[in-house]
Structures are given as structure tokens and as C-alpha cells.
Amino acid sequence: MEGLEVLNVEQVWHPLKLFGIDSELVALSIPTIINTWIVLAVLTALILLFRFVMYKSTIATFLVHSFVNSFVELSVQSLGVFNYHHFVFVFSIFVFILFCNWIALIPFVEEPTKNINTTLALGCISFFYKEFYAIKTHGIMAYFKEFFHPFFVMFPLNVISHFSKIISISFRLFGNIFGGSIITQIYTSAISLSFFTELFGLLTGLNFLVLSFFILFEGLIQAFVFTMLTLTYLAIAVQSEEEGALE
């Protein structure tokens, strides 16, 4: 279909090519990097704006407080207690993924999360954060002991199950955002075939409906799902043996 560039090869950069390493595993997608920096720029501008707004009693101040407090309550419900470091991490993950999904509302900008490397990186960050605090909470010996539970022969399966969490949360986010992006581009290409189809989509509100569902709604849901899975895995990882026995 004319105008549909979903399957086009992305422009990539091989930073280690000078050393004779040109593997795709170390290749960087230039459009994804640019789009990610656009997300960071937008977030920085909003943070500075909200920092100024917070000193005034406005509706925006109330909305920001309510938004942050909802995540504080969510963190407490999942972890049992409020932990500032865990709250900041989970909240940052949610906001970053949300804006990565919503940045497609800006013309000529695409979601960084439609690239598997971005979602895998987020999955690895979430995974290793959880592992660090699991070791910090229970100790290195108790951490490795879990891999042999309940029998020694279960070690390979426990290792696979452990690291599969990275694939689970990464591919779920990637699949949904990439699929929504394809559908949105197909729809955009279809209505751009003539002036009448574009006018029909505008007057009937079909354009707004498609963008609202596949960018706003789906972007919000997928950011929330990724965050909740991260928070759930973290809560299980730092759970004490006494709490586990009570459950």
C-alpha cells in the first residue's frame, strides 16, 4: 500500500564498526534514538512546568497531586509499606513508557516502544532492579537457594522461569504498541487516498476514535500493565519469608 512504511528497513548505526564488529545485536536504530530523546525533552519541559505550577493553587496542582498519590497508594498496597526508592522507580517507569506510547500524537514522531530493543531494555531495567533488591533483602545465599526449590533437579526450570519474565513483559509491550502502530498507519494510508475519505474521517470523528483507542487508550493500558507487572514481581522478590508463610 502506498505510503505504508511499516516494513521498511530502519536506518541503523553501527558504533563498533570501526573495531570490525557490525553485528545487528549492537546496531542502534537512529529513528528510535531520536524519538526517545524527543520523549525526554517533552518530559523535561513538563517537569519544569509542573515545578512552577506546584507553587500555585490551581486545578493542575490538584491533578498532579492526585496522580502522584494514586501511585503512592498503589505502591503501598502492593509492597505493604511505602518505600520511596521503589515508588520513584515504578512511577518513573510508568511515566516514561506512557509518554513513549503517546508521543505518536506529535506529527512525524513514532513510539520508541514499537522497537523491540526499547522494550527489552525496559524489561532488563525492571528485572535487574528487582534482582538487586531481592539480593539486598534476603542475602546472596537465600537468593540462590530459591533456584533449587523445591528440588535440586528443578534448577534449570527455575532459571528459565526466572529470566523469562524479561521476555514476558518486554514482548507484551512491544507486540501491543507495534500492532497498534501498524493498524494506525494502515488506517492513515487508507483515508489519505482521496479528499473525500479524509473529510469523512474528520467529520464522522473516526480519526479521533482511532487515535484515541490505539494511541491514548492502548498506550495508557500497556504502560499500566508493564508497571503493575514490575511492581508485582518486585513485591514478590522483597517479600519476607514470614509474610510468605502467612499467605
Q: What is the pLDDT of residues 8-27, one digit of tens each?
A: 446 877 777 777 777 766 77
End-to-end CA distance of the chain: 55
Q: Check whether 2 has a pLDDT greater than 60.
A: no
Highest mean pLDDT among 42-56, 196-210, 229-243 belongs to: 42-56
Please state the rounded mean pLDDT for residues 37-65: 84
**How many structural domains compose the chain?**
1
Q: What is the number of other CB atoms lying within 10 angstroms of the CB of residue 19? A: 8
In a domain, 226, yes or no: yes
In a domain, 4, yes or no: no
More confident call, 202 vs 74: 74
CA distance 201 to 119: 32
The residue range of the domain holding 39 is: 12-246
pLDDT attached to residue 30: 87
In a domain, 2, yes or no: no
pLDDT digits (tens, 9 = 90+) for 96-108: 999 999 999 888 8
In a domain, 1, yes or no: no
